[in-house]
A and B are shown apart, each in its own frame.
Chain A
Amino acid sequence: MYLILIGFFSGIIGGMGIGGGTLLIPALTLFTPLTQQQAQGVNLLSFIPVAFVALITHFKNKDVETSISIPFIGLGILGSIIGSFLAVKLSSHILKISFGIFLFFMGAYEFFYKEKSRTK
């Protein structure tokens, strides 16, 4: 039951477009016996159906710039393969600490985020 609750709260955050995954993973490693890798796997897998449904709507609204996404997918897959193999090879403890450092910077970024901060 508490798993559904964790999913529910991260879903609310994700639905608001603030990145539910970045809080789902620490919630899982801190409150459940899952390893860091398993928690990351939960986030990756649960992202797929949600993103698929959202993408259908975005395609219908013509909001997807395929001229950008196609080259990025190619480059990104290359990075994903390296990153994923690194993730499965690292010890759960080291990966958890690395994730914590990454999360700290993501949190700092969100905290200082400004709506019109981009330089044109």
Chain B
Amino acid sequence: MPLLNLYYVGEKMKKKIFTFKFILLGITTGLVNGLFGSGGGTILILGMFFLLDIDEHKAHATAISIILPLALVSTFIYMKHGIIVWPVTLKIMTGGILGGYIGAKLLSKIPEYLLRKIFAVFMIIAAIRMVF
């Protein structure tokens, strides 16, 4: 397989890759992920759905393969500026790995639409508290 394809053959159709929208989506994903330290994946998955004919499961897996190197670059720049707090991160990671495992198990037991609504409300409350 060549490293750079001009077309992506999706589920039902062939889509041209290097369009203006594609380039814009790629740069925006990195910009948001670097600026806010999160959220790049959500934008990327949403964008891929609209621009490319990609299956949801593959979109999620592909998004992780893209965000991982971007997170490495951003972490390196943050580290160079001395804003990586190792002891806090290690504690968050310990809880996070355990929680991630439980979350993946719980996923099949709680309806997803309900979860999304609950977390959306939390996000909006947190957003308002951060701005004011």
Residues of A within 8 A of B (CB): 3-30, 32, 34-35, 37-52, 54-55, 58-59, 61, 63-88, 95-104, 106-111, 113, 115, 118-120
Task: Check B103 against A86 for contact (C-beta < 8 Å).
Answer: no
| Residues of A close to B61: CB separation below 8 A | 55, 58, 61, 63-64
The 8 Å CB contact of A80, one of B8, B57, B70, is B70
List residues of B whose CB falls within 8 A of some A CB: 1, 3-5, 8, 12, 17-18, 22-23, 25-42, 44, 46, 48-50, 52-54, 57-58, 60-62, 64-75, 77-79, 81, 83-85, 88-89, 91-107, 112-113, 115-117, 119-124, 126-131
Assembly CA distance A52 to B107 (angstroms):
21
Report Cα–Cα, A77/B128, bound state, in Å. 30
Residues of A within 8 A of B26 (CB): 71-72, 74-76, 78-79
Q: With A6-B92, A26-B127, A107-B121 given, can you name 8 additional A-B contacts, CB distance below 8 Å?
A: A38-B83, A44-B78, A45-B78, A58-B65, A67-B4, A73-B65, A98-B35, A100-B130
